Amino acid sequence: MEKSNCDSDEIKMIVGLGNPDEEYKNTYHNVGRLFLDELTKKAGGKSIYKFPNGKDFGFIKIRNFVLVVSKTYMNESGLAVDQALKYFKNKPKEMIVVHDDSDKEIGTYKKTFAQSSGGHKGVESIIKIIESQDFYRIKIGIRPQEETIRKKASDFVLNKITKRDKEIFDKIFDEIINSINI
């Protein structure tokens, strides 16, 4: 997959985008949160987030990183990210946002820095509220591999992840974790 200059020495916070409710837990739109669960497991921790009073985010400290999830829905992710950046006194460039990408096929991912939202509503919310796009992103492909007629993202992002696709995500998560030296 594509490499970037994402230096784990400057990264302090990793945000996994997704929706908070149990009904969305294992959906394609929540691969960012699922990635954080895998990262936590690989680091020997448990996915039990602390939720500061009056804040829209939860966090786990793993090694030198703070892993952040939002209590808001995907399209309002910027509220939680802005609060977390301020709470931990981090700059946007010290953050990686991990999220689904319906334009990329399952089994692929891409690391980027300082790019537009590309139509992703969660990323769009973050850019608008923190007034910066100067952060790293890891975009994980969720488009079905066997798709012959291109579907709208809204037709599949909230579907439950199949067993086969979960195995593909597990491999991709391992590759990403290794590529950013966590």
Catalytically annotated residues: 29
- Pair 65, 14: CB distance under 8 Å: yes
- Pair 83, 56: CB distance under 8 Å: yes
What does the alpha-carbon distance between residue 177 and residue 182 come to, in Å, rounded to a whole number? 6
The total of other beta-carbon atoms located within 10 Å of residue 145's CB is 12
Angle value at C-alpha 81, between 76 and 84, nearest 5 degrees:
140
- Pair 133, 115: CB distance under 8 Å: yes
